[in-house]
Chain A
Amino acid sequence: MGKSEDIAKLPSHPGGNGTDMYSFFTGGRSVANPRPSATPPAHATPSAAPTIQRIASVANRQQPKDGQFLLPSQVETAPGAEGWEEMYPYFTRFRPEDDQRFWFYNGMHFPEPMPAFDMITAEAPYVALGAFNTRVFVVPGVKGIDHRVVNGRVFISGLPVTDPEEIQERLMYFQERAFYYFGNWNKLYDKWRDKMMTLIHEMEAIKVPDLPKYDDEAMVKEGRGIAQNYYVMESYQRAIQGYFKMWQYHMEMLLLGYGAYSTFFEFCKKAFPEITDQTISRMVAGVDVLMFRPDDELKKLARLAVELKLDDEFREDRDPADLLESMKRRGKPGERWLAALKKARDPWFNVSTGDGFYHHHRSWNDDLAIPFSALPRYVRQVKAGESLERPTEKLKRERERIRKEYRALLTTDADRGAFDQMLGLSELVFPFVEDHKFYCEHWLTMIFFKKMREFAQLLTKNGFFDDPEDMFHLHHSEVGQAISDLMLAWSAGSTPRGKAHWGPIVARRKALLKTLFDWAPPPALGPVPEAINDAVLNMLWGITSEQLRSWAAPVAANSNELRGFAASEGVVEGLARVVMSVDEIASIREGEILVCPVTAPSWAPIFGKIKAAVSDIGGTMSHAAIVAREYGMPAVVGTGHATKRIRTGQRLRVDGSTGVVTILP
């Protein structure tokens, strides 16, 4: 059981300088002295010694010789996918000097090959993330993130600042700017919500014009002087801009939020070398979190159904349209239930069934089958007298107790004082950190893609595509070109090039994506950094030196074990259900173990059904981890390749305490 090894006993690296490492947020700074020793110095204090041991062993861990990653230039085109490059902008291609840098596959956000349009979900965040790090807050140790695409997969790499003078200069800016944000956090967060709500309403208000044969009479009578074809372009551009703007807002506060949290996180790791990541997050995690709202709304609907004696309507596998129709025939109670549903849908059903990074991640509003699949069970539970309430008061008391007890375990007043400060700041930023996702990746993103589908309808209607979905094989700038084509043709009274041009391109790209689906991306590329010790990387992507090493190590053919992050405590055995996307959620049976690439908040209702969760991607703050802890079920996240190694029906043992998944004979 590798993870339980005494970490202080790991061999030290003979020649590491401990600074040449990759980092996302803290800028590649080593956490230890330049040449840390695996043995604590004789004068080491009890509180410092273990920390030094822990850090030294992490910073000095040498990559096994057979544990190298390919260089970006060595990655070969997936067989049969020649020409994949045409789907992606030129600036996402690897260039020769990229071989000098370390890249890792961002399978957390992009677990599938990218349809051309969906590249916008990488471009917009990275445009904003770097801007706030590099230019706005001027974080001393780190700039932004570069992203590259190879064989349809997104790889990312951060840019640390290494020049001490530049760090010093940046520090001056950062100090003033970041302090201002922390110092005015709640005021700025109020403002942030206002900005987001304005943007959400603007996005909702965007109308995709229907291009009529003759323009509306009002155009003339009101003297507007603008024809409908202009609005096609304007609306499209406004929608794209709104999406880019949302990501600016997203990064505006998130990076500082993570900064505050990761500072507390690092402190806890030093004070309590063996504390688990999940325990640290439990000290900070909110109880009244928006993420739980959609599921809570479902539970409310279940309670209402029982109260109104409509419970007979809820049967497994019932078509939502059929259920809604039937409710209409149930008189007053039916009406009341439908009204409650309508209220819940806006905004709470604007949750993506994925993370919002692919156009095919639909929301609950787009496909009611997903939320409704949880209703029959909730109804049964209500009837059985079970409380579906989340015990929020109890959760709060428990969080308070955990904080107090850890605080009491600190040995000096100085430590307790620092703990109070860091925890206080984490508490201040955490509501944003937890809730921004609902506004950004869910609510606004769902509106954005809904609008994009309306454009796809418009283009399809005008002979650009056979199927509206085809539009998503065009990059957003190519959609802009198609819209120009349409505007011109409508204007001239001729026909657009449309399908004659895009038809073959779409067909080719469909085939390419299909081929690329089977390509297994390496978890990382390029020279392995000395060490990765970055709380943010660890929390979100599950990237640590240890994880990299295990990814790089050749997998024994007969090994029946997978290792990931111990995300939620407990051990269970059960049958695996491999679910590659949320569309397959309905296939999950009571008591199975969910094995998936990554989960999102909208998967929450199925957590009541399953026994344990295993994911390819994710750290201890990933959704699967948080929800699993809430439901008190074991979870192992960030296994790298569970969905490839495990088949539905296999018997598994999931140990959420040690992060080991065993395929049982």
Chain B
Amino acid sequence: MIRWFREIRLDDRPTVGGKGASLGELARAGINVPPGFVVATEAYTRFIDAIDPRRELRRRIERLEANDTASVTKVATEVRAQIEKAPVPKDVHAALTKAYATLCASERDAPVAVRSSATSEDSDEASFAGLQDTYLWVRGADSVVTQLRRCWASLYSEPSVSYRRRLKLPEEHVAMAVVVQRMVNARCAGVMFTRSPTTGDRSVIAIEAAWGLGSAMVSGEVTPDRYVVSKVTLDISKRTVSPKLIRHVPVPAGGVREEEVPAAMQSVPCLSDEQVKEVARVGKRIEQHYGKAQDIEWAMDESGKFPDNLYLLQSRPETVWASRSQEPIAKPAASAMDHVLAALSGGLKRK
């Protein structure tokens, strides 16, 4: 029911979800991932079976028409409310509390992120698996349990339900794993694509960075600094420093709040060149590990020594450019000179 990152590999996706599997895989590959565990799908199944022993609730959802927004909203709201109130099975609760205590080690009520980790194959692309099911800076076992339930409940958000109805997916196989992971007290955080999001260029890594936790940037509330780094030479070819007006910071008691970035810091680059290169270096390693372009979230901790304070929070395959077909831009010619001939008479360029 509880699976620590180091025990997980990519194949475990059906039981630990996409996020969980990816984090486990990263940790096993030696990437610096904040420690954590996954509450596997088994826990969810036990929970939902306890609430809905005769599957009436689930059948009720299956009967919904995707277009009937009013009914979808109504049913989804009811189910969610029920889930968020329902008690977590005793053994699940005990296992979770114990694992959390282990994760806290010597620190009392250490802050963690609680994140849903969907199992469905298409979840990478489906936008419903978004920010709403990530809870940051959660402290204390009770809060962890509360957020765990919320993650589970997010399966019944209106967009999730209508998405499943549109695809006519059976409710039987719906399950969710939940990641519980030590929180990085991010000085700055961001994302990177190991392939240019604008041109698809495989030879560059595009990095975005903003002050504070990554959530402000992911939600689009702040315009990040942007860097383009050569994957091969690690030279930084583009560097755009934006005024970063707000940031997300933890609330000591738990949760996250938005605040204004001090004026003097707004237009200061979040990363030094050395740090940009280190982020890119790790991105390159992760891409090599998976063998394809990745979309990665990272954070730089306030404390700790660089580069040990650089953490990787998530990695998933890049999908936009990967879905396009690949055709050669040039072919070997009878002789190397034919290329020059073609270029000097416009052939190569007009292709």
Contact = CB atoms under 8 A, between A and B. Distances in A.
A129 interface: no
A658 to B, nearest CB: 5
B70 interface: no
Contact of B326 (A140, A266, A278, A412): A412
A11 to B, nearest CB: 16
B237 interface: yes
A50 B199 contact: yes
Nearest to A34: B350
Contacts of B105: none
Contacts of A30: 349
A557 interface: no
Contacts of A47: 200, 326-329
12 contacts: A29-B350, A45-B325, A182-B336, A182-B340, A262-B343, A263-B348, A279-B233, A417-B331, A418-B339, A571-B239, A657-B238, A657-B239
Given A26-B343, A256-B340, A569-B235, 8 more contacts: A8-B199, A33-B350, A47-B200, A141-B345, A274-B204, A418-B331, A425-B336, A569-B236
Nearest to A423: B336
A392 to B, nearest CB: 18
B239 to A, nearest CB: 5
B325 A46 contact: yes
Nearest to A413: B328
- In this complex, the member of A3, A25, A263, A566 whose beta carbon has the largest number of chain B beta carbons within 10 angstroms is A263
Contacts of B345: 140-141, 167, 171, 174
A306 interface: no
A115 B322 CA distance: 59
Contact of A411 (B326, B332, B336): B326
Interface in B315-333: 321-322, 324-333
Q: In terms of DSSP, what is the predominant structure of the interface of chain A?
A: helix
B340 A275 contact: no
Interface in B224-242: 226, 228, 230-233, 235-241
A482 B343 CA distance: 48
B201 A178 contact: no
A100 B319 CA distance: 50
Contact of B200 (A49, A179, A267, A570): A49
B233 A46 contact: no
A571 to B, nearest CB: 7
Interface stretch (A211-219, A322-330, A402-410): A402-410
Q: When A and B form their complex, which 7 residue pairs have the shortest distance between CB atoms, in order from nearest?
A: A417-B332, A50-B199, A414-B328, A46-B324, A418-B330, A421-B336, A273-B199
Nearest to B242: A1
B199 A271 contact: no
Nearest to A424: B336
B264 interface: no
Given A262-B343, A279-B232, A421-B339, A270 B329 contact: yes
B231 A139 contact: no
A445 interface: no
Interface string B183-209: 000000000000010111111100000
A48 B333 contact: no
Contact of B337 (A32, A49, A182, A657): A182
B86 interface: no
A421 B228 CA distance: 29
B199 A274 contact: yes
A31 B328 CA distance: 18
A33 B346 CA distance: 11
Given A6-B198, A50-B199, A409-B202, A271 B329 contact: yes
B273 interface: yes
B94 interface: no
A655 B239 contact: yes
Nearest to A263: B343
Interface string B297-331: 00000000000000000000000011011111111
B142 to A, nearest CB: 46
B239 A279 contact: no
A628 interface: no
A48 B232 contact: no
Interface residues of A, number: 76
Nearest to B324: A46
B344 interface: yes
Contacts of A655: 239
A587 interface: no
B335 interface: yes
B341 interface: yes
A32 to B, nearest CB: 8
A272 B337 CA distance: 22
A259 to B, nearest CB: 5
- In this complex, the member of B228, B235, B342, B344 whose beta carbon has the largest number of chain A beta carbons within 10 angstroms is B344
A175 interface: yes
Contacts of A54: 199
A415 B237 contact: no
A183 interface: yes
A359 B179 CA distance: 74
Nearest to A54: B199
Nearest to B269: A571
Given A47-B327, A141-B345, A276 B200 contact: no
A569 B228 CA distance: 12
A615 interface: no
Nearest to A268: B203
B194 to A, nearest CB: 11
A624 B333 CA distance: 35
Contacts of B330: 267, 270, 414-415, 418-419, 422
Contact of B331 (A48, A402, A414): A414
Interface string A282-322: 10000000000000000000000000000000000000000
B201 A273 contact: yes
A202 B300 CA distance: 67
Contacts of B233: 279, 282, 402
A460 to B, nearest CB: 49
A262 B237 CA distance: 21
Nearest to B330: A418
Nearest to A255: B344
Contact of A421 (B241, B273, B332): B332
B339 A267 contact: yes
Contact of B232 (A46, A179, A405): A405
B230 A279 contact: yes
B344 A418 contact: no
A53 interface: yes
Given A267-B339, A425-B337, A425-B339, A50 B331 contact: no
A569 B238 CA distance: 10
Nearest to B201: A274
Given A276-B230, A570-B273, A266 B324 contact: no
B92 to A, nearest CB: 45
Given A1-B240, A33-B350, A49 B232 contact: no
A29 B202 contact: no
Nearest to B345: A140
Nearest to A26: B344
A46 B332 contact: no
A48 B330 CA distance: 11
B239 A406 contact: no
Contact of A273 (B196, B232, B339): B196
Contact of B336 (A25, A139, A273, A422): A422
A282 B273 CA distance: 21
A527 to B, nearest CB: 22
Contacts of B340: 178, 182, 256, 259-260, 263, 425
Contact of A48 (B198, B204, B329): B329
B321 A29 contact: no
A139 B341 CA distance: 9
A517 B231 CA distance: 46
B93 to A, nearest CB: 48
A271 to B, nearest CB: 6
Contact of B348 (A53, A266, A275, A424): A266
B330 to A, nearest CB: 4
A74 interface: no
